[in-house]
A = this chain, B = another copy of it.
Amino acid sequence: MTAQAAQQDTKSEDNPLDRLSTLLRDDMVRVNEKILTHMQADVALIPQLAGYLIASGGKRIRPLLTLAATMLSGGDMNRAYGLAASVEFIHTATLLHDDVVDGSLARRGKDTANLVFGNQASVLVGDFLFSRAFQLMVKDGSLEILRILSDASAIISQGEVKQLATTNNLQTTMNDYIEVISAKTAALFAAACEIGPVIAGQDLSAQIALRDYGLNLGIAFQIADDVLDYNADQKKLGKTIGDDFREGKMTAPILLALENATPPERSFWQRTIGQKQQNDDDLMQAMEILERHNALHKGLEMARTYGKKSVTALHNIKGGTQNEPLAAALSGLVEFSINRGY
């Protein structure tokens, strides 16, 4: 099965993400209420812009993780709603700032918020949502959760800055790349999960197990996302293809293709990524080189390695099988995150 086919065969209705959403449907209704209530502000532009992005059909994986981790740990779901909204606000704030930083034009098949409302509003509404996230945490009142999410936020921004430093930089190593995605993506997955056992007042081992589940899931998720960026069929799913290539991002596919690159291939990457000199047909050529090195397939294999660590961590939760359907959905979510076509 090609990498492309692998990333599409889970597009059916019945996938682990849908199962997770179904198991937590009523709870997600409450989270969405919290999100809607707390994105309100006196200045109309704030709910307009925030609502534009939040209503645009994101997968809501992070708040689902907070809900699932809380339920699995036997924690108070009423506390989880506000905190799940807080996690989604942090995520939304980083998306708004990311799209400004990358100059992105499309997200989830729609024009980006920066394109519709301008970079200025996107930066400032991101700041607003970030502040709101902390207000929600303060309202909950757990210093430990405030620590987890403020640490995650600091790590996310460090990862984003490191990504900036590796962009267009052919010296970037696979290790640099894993550091970047662990920070910019996986840290929030980890924090979203870690909150659950903290709400439930469980011991540190439960916290570590769910954090490790989230961290490795997040790494697998991001590698798969970076493979997806070169996956030709995703265009119909509303994403532009080759964004990472055009932006000179050093992601798994290019790093894997560079490992055994021929001199002409190396020159190609040097020109297109290192020196930012790209012609119209360069993306096509980049994809041919990736294909020659089986780089998308290898990328998904890398993702699976982290996926396995994630599932192992989940099995390490003591008494984690008290809610078998939920544990099964979380376990299935790992493979789904890797093979998803969107």
Contacts and interface: CB of A to CB of B under 8 A. Distances in A.
A154 interface: yes
A69 to B, nearest CB: 21
Contact of A121 (B153, B154, B161): B161
A150 B135 contact: yes
A140 to B, nearest CB: 10
Contact of A164 (B45, B130, B150, B154): B45
A150 B127 CA distance: 11
Given A43-B165, A151-B135, A157 B124 contact: yes
Given A45-B164, A143-B143, A165-B45, A123 B135 contact: no
Nearest to A167: B120
Interface residues of A, number: 43
A267 to B, nearest CB: 27
Contact of A128 (B141, B146, B157): B157
B131 A161 contact: no
Interface string A134-159: 11011001010011001101101110
A10 B42 CA distance: 38
Contacts of A45: 161, 164-165
A321 to B, nearest CB: 34
B158 A128 contact: yes
Contact of A138 (B42, B143, B161): B143
Interface in A213-233: none
A249 interface: no
A100 interface: yes
Interface string A101-127: 100000000000000000111011111
A152 B120 CA distance: 20
B125 A146 contact: no
Interface in A55-93: 93
Contacts of A132: 154
A121 B164 contact: yes
A160 interface: yes
A297 interface: no
Contacts of A143: 138, 141, 143
B43 A162 contact: yes
Contacts of A121: 161, 164
Contacts of A153: 127, 130-131, 134
A131 B150 contact: yes
A97 interface: yes
Contacts of A46: 158, 161
Nearest to A179: B42
Contact of A130 (B101, B130, B141, B165): B130
8 contacts: A124-B161, A125-B157, A127-B153, A128-B157, A128-B158, A131-B150, A131-B153, A135-B150
